C-alpha cells in the first residue's frame, strides 16, 4: 500500500503542462518482439503506440541468425508479411549447419527454412512493415524514463521529450537490459542464466558458404562455442559466447578469448588469414529462457529478451521473441474484450507462451547443462554421427 501511495503521489505530482498521449496499448521497444506485437494488433480496433530509444535503421549486436519460427510467426500474423520477407533481398538462405570439434566436422541439413541477415536490415524491415501497414503511432528517439502505475494503467515519461504517455496495457519489448522488466518485475542479472557474447563483422573469410552456418567447439570452453554465420556480400558475423557465471568464475576476457580462439584453431586461422574485420568487436548479453521469471502482471506483459526467452543451447532469440510479441497482442485483445487488465487474466499470456515454449526451453537447458558437466559427450556425438540414421535422430532434436 505504501508503494502504491508513493506511485500515486509521483503521478499526481507530474507537471500538468506536459503533453499527455492516451493509448490502449503502449509497446516499449521496436525490435522483433515489439514489431510483431504491433503487427498483430493491426485490425484489433485498439489505439497502439510503439516507442524506441533509437532512430531506425539502427544496429543491434546479435548473431544475425533468423530461425524458421520467425518466418512462421510472420506468416501466422499475415501471409502478406511472409511474402514481403521472401522478396526482401538482403539475406542468405541457410540450408545446413557445420559443427567442428577437434579437427572433425559433421554437417546437419535443415528440414525447415532459416536465414541470416544483419539485425540492422531485419529489424528495419519489420519496423517498415509496422509503418506501412498499421496505424500504430511511432515515437523513435524516445527513451522512457519512468513507468508509473495507477488503477487505469501506466503513465510513462520520456527522458528526452516533454511527452507523457498513458496506456491501459504496457508491453515491455525493450531487450536484454529492459527497463520495464527491472522496474515492474524486479528483474536482476542471474549469471547462471545469462550468456555474455562478443561479435564482429568480417569480409572475405575464405571458403565461406552462404548457405552454411558454422559452429566451432573447443574443449576448454564447453558448452560455449564460436560461430561463423554468412551474410550477403561475402561478409560474415563471427562471435563467441559463454555463460556469464563461467566468465566471472574464470575471469575470462571475452574479447581476448575471441581472437585467441581464432588464432589457435588451425582451420580458422587459415580461413581468416586474408579476412578483414570491418567494425569493432562488440559485446552483448543473452538472458536465457532457463529459469522461471515474471512474464506479466497488472496491466503489463514482457516479451522477447525482456522476458528472457533465448534458447539456452543455441542462443536463438528472434523466433521466440516474435512469437511472444504475437501472443502478447492476442492477450491484449482478450483483456479489452473482458475489460479486465488484472494479473490473473493477464496470466493467460504466461500460459500460452509457456505452453508453446516451456517444454522446448527446458529440454535445451538440460542439454546445455549436460554438455557442460560431461563434455566427453561431444566426442560421443561425433562418433555416433557416422551412422546416418543416428545423425537424423540427433538433427531432429536440434
Q: What is the CATH number of domain 191-287+373-397?
A: 3.30.9.10
> pTM score > 0.85 for this model?
yes
pLDDT number for residue 45: 97
pLDDT number for residue 4: 39
pLDDT number for residue 110: 86
Sequence ranges of the chain with CATH classification 3.50.50.60 = 2-94+111-189+289-371
Can you tell me whether residue 30 is helix, strand or coil? coil
pLDDT number for residue 7: 39
In percent, how much of the chain has pLDDT > 90? 80
Residue 372 clears pLDDT 90, i.e. is over it: no
Residue 11 clears pLDDT 60, i.e. is over it: no
| Each residue's pLDDT tens digit, 27-62 | 999 999 999 999 999 999 999 999 999 999 999 999
pLDDT number for residue 122: 98
**How far is residue 216's CA from residue 226's CA, in Å, rounded to a whole number?**
5
pLDDT number for residue 374: 86
User: Which among 182, 146, 151 is positioned nearest to 164, based on CA atoms?
Assistant: 146
Strand partners, 115: 66, 93
Distance between alpha carbon 199 and the CA centroid of its chain, in Å? 15
Do you know the residue count of the chain? 398
**Identity of the highest mean pLDDT range in 109-118, 337-346, 360-369:** 337-346
Sequence ranges of the chain with CATH classification 3.30.9.10 = 191-287+373-397
N- to C-terminal Cα distance for the chain?
48
Looking at 135-265, list the stretches that DSSP marks H as alpha helix, in order from N- to C-terminal side.
Answer: 179-184, 244-250, 254-264
Residue 5 clears pLDDT 60, i.e. is over it: no
Strand partners, 155: 148, 166
Q: What cell does 181 get?
A: 522488466
The answer for residues whose C-beta is within 8 angstroms of residue 319's C-beta and 6 or more apart is 66, 67, 68, 69, 70, 72, 73
Question: For the range 83-91, what are the long-range contacts, defined as Cβ-Cβ under 8 Å and sequence gap of 24 or more?
Answer: 84/125, 84/129, 85/125, 88/117, 88/125, 89/232, 90/117, 90/118, 90/121, 90/232, 91/66, 91/115, 91/116, 91/117, 91/121, 91/122, 91/232
pLDDT number for residue 10: 38
| Each residue's pLDDT tens digit, 158-206 | 887 788 999 999 999 999 999 999 999 999 999 999 999 999 999 999 9
pLDDT number for residue 200: 98
In percent, how much of the chain has pLDDT > 70? 92
pLDDT number for residue 24: 98
What is the edge-to-edge ordering of all strands in the sheet holding 65-66?
Answer: 65-66, 115-116, 92-93
Confidence of residue 6 (pLDDT cuts 50, 70, 90): very low
The pLDDT mean for the chain works out to 91
Averaged over 264-269, what is the pLDDT? Answer: 96
SS (H, E, C) 266-306: HHHHHHCCCCEECCCCEEEEEEECCCCCCCEECCEEECHHH
pLDDT number for residue 1: 38
The answer for residues whose C-beta is within 8 angstroms of residue 216's C-beta and 6 or more apart is 100, 101, 225, 226, 227, 228, 261, 265, 268
Measured over the CA atoms of residue 172, residue 178, residue 184 and residue 190, the dihedral's sign is: positive
Query: Among 2-16, 45-59, 289-303, 358-372, where is mean pLDDT lowest?
Result: 2-16
Count of CA atoms in the C-beta half-sphere (13 A) of 14: 22
Residue 104 clears pLDDT 70, i.e. is over it: yes
The CATH class given to the 2-94+111-189+289-371 domain equals alpha beta
The answer for residues whose C-beta is within 8 angstroms of residue 355's C-beta and 6 or more apart is none
B/e letters for 304-321, b = 16+ CB within 10 Å, e = fewer, are bbbbbbbbbbbbbbbbbb
Can you tell me whether residue 21 is helix, strand or coil? strand
Amino acid at each position: 500500500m505504501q508503494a502504491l501511495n508513493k506511485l500515486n503521489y509521483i503521478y499526481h505530482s507530474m507537471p500538468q503542462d506536459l503533453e499527455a498521449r492516451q493509448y490502449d496499448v503502449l509497446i516499449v521497444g521496436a525490435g522483433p518482439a515489439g514489431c510483431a506485437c504491433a503487427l498483430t494488433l493491426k485490425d484489433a480496433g485498439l489505439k497502439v503506440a510503439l516507442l524506441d530509444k533509437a532512430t531506425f535503421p539502427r544496429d543491434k549486436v546479435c548473431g544475425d541468425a533468423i530461425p524458421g519460427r520467425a518466418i512462421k510467426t510472420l506468416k501466422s500474423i499475415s501471409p502478406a508479411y511472409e511474402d514481403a520477407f521472401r522478396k526482401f533481398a538482403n539475406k542468405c538462405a541457410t540450408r545446413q549447419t557445420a559443427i567442428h570439434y577437434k579437427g572433425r566436422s559433421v554437417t546437419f541439413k535443415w528440414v525447415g527454412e532459416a536465414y541470416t541477415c544483419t539485425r540492422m536490415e531485419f529489424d528495419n524491415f519489420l519496423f517498415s512493415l509496422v509503418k506501412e501497414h498499421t496505424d500504430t503511432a511511432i515515437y523513435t528517439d524516445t527513451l522512457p524514463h519512468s513507468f508509473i502505475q495507477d488503477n487505469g494503467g501506466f503513465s510513462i515519461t520520456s527522458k528526452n521529450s516533454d511527452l507523457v504517455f498513458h496506456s491501459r496495457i504496457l508491453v515491455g519489448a525493450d531487450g536484454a537490459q529492459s527497463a520495464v522488466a527491472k522496474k515492474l518485475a524486479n528483474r536482476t542479472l542471474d549469471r547462471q542464466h545469462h550468456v555474455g557474447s562478443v561479435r564482429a563483422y568480417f569480409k572475405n573469410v575464405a571458403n565461406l558458404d552462404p548457405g552454411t552456418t558454422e559452429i566451432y567447439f573447443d574443449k576448454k570452453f564447453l558448452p560455449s562455442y564460436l560461430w561463423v554465420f554468412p551474410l550477403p556480400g561475402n561478409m560474415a558475423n563471427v562471435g563467441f559466447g559463454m555463460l556469464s557465471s563461467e566468465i566471472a568464475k574464470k575471469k575470462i576476457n571475452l574479447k581476448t578469448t575471441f581472437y585467441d580462439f581464432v588464432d589457435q584453431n588451425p582451420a580458422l586461422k587459415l580461413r581468416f588469414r586474408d579476412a578483414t574485420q570491418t567494425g569493432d568487436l562488440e559485446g552483448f548479453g543473452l538472458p536465457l529462457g532457463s529459469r522461471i521469471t515474471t512474464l506479466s502482471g497488472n496491466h503489463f506483459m514482457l516479451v522477447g529478451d525482456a522476458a528472457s526467452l533465448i534458447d539456452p543451447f543455441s542462443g536463438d532469440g528472434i523466433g521466440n521473441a516474435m512469437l511472444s510479441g504475437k501472443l502478447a497482442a492476442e492477450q491484449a485483445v482478450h483483456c479489452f474484450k473482458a475489460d479486465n487488465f488484472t494479473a490473473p487474466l493477464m496470466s493467460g499470456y504466461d500460459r500460452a507462451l509457456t505452453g508453446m515454449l516451456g517444454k522446448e526451453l527446458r529440454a535445451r537447458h538440460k542439454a546445455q547443462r549436460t554438455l557442460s558437466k560431461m563434455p566427453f559427450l561431444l566426442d560421443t556425438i561425433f562418433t555416433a554421427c557416422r551412422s546416418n540414421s543416428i545423425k537424423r535422430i540427433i538433427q531432429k532434436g536440434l
